[in-house]
Structure 1
Amino acid sequence: MEEKRKYSRTEIDEPAYVSSGGSVMPCVVRNISREGAAIDVDNPAFVPQHFRLVMAKDPSIVHECRVTWIRKNRIGLTFMKIADAVAEPSPS
């Protein structure tokens, strides 16, 4: 199978939350890159097309996402903004 991703994915197993319109649903991030991720959820039918992915270990890490594909309980996401590889310190 040909790899079509621009950035390679890193396999992880981290808890996170799908956040949209005041509702929050737990999920597990299975892999992530600068441009997207794959998450596992209990019921994909309750995941909206656009939402925020909030990392449980560091709630300051939030990705605006859209659903790209769904296969059983796994959902492929595209980040609306490409994440920076390394956060730049803010000027003082």
Structure 2
Amino acid sequence: MDETRIAPRRRTLKAGTIEFGGGGIDCTVRNLSQTGAALEVVSPLFIPDRFTLFVPSEQLKRPCHVVWRREKRIGVTFD
């Protein structure tokens, strides 16, 4: 598979929170770059298309939107 991302992603395993509507859903950040991330979640069903990703260990809080969804993973790009 050819790499088509703008920025290379680095593999990681960090706790994060998908924040929207005054609440949040826990997630695990599986890879991360300057332009986006892949997130592992219990279920992607009730996650909106746009939200804020918060990763305390990276001091990261970025608005983003979903670009793909698969079983227990979602891919996002930062706005």
- Give runs of aligned pairs for residues 63-74 of structure 1, distance below 5 A: 63-74=62-73
Whichever residue aligns with residue 74 of structure 1, its letter is R
Identity over aligned residues, as a percent? Answer: 37
- Give the TM-score taking structure 2 as reference length: 0.94
- In the alignment, the residues of structure 2 paired with residue 27 and residue 73 of structure 1 have an alpha-carbon distance, to the nearest angstrom, of 10
When Rg is computed on C-alpha atoms for both structures, the one with the higher figure is 1
Per the alignment, residue 54 of structure 1 pairs with 54
Provide runs of 4+ in structure 1 moved above 2 Å: none
Listed as ranges, the gaps of 5+ residues in structure 1 are 81-92
- Give the TM-score taking structure 1 as reference length: 0.81
Listed as ranges, the gaps of 5+ residues in structure 2 are none
Q: How well do the aligned residues superpose, as a CA RMSD in angstroms?
A: 1.0
- In the alignment, the residues of structure 2 paired with residue 56 and residue 6 of structure 1 have an alpha-carbon distance, to the nearest angstrom, of 24
Per the alignment, residue 6 of structure 1 pairs with 6
Residue 21 (structure 1) aligned with residue 16 (structure 2): no
For residues 4-26 of structure 1, the C-alpha deviation after alignment (integer angstroms, 9 at most, x for no partner) is 01110000000000000111100
Higher strand share: 2
| Matched positions, count | 79
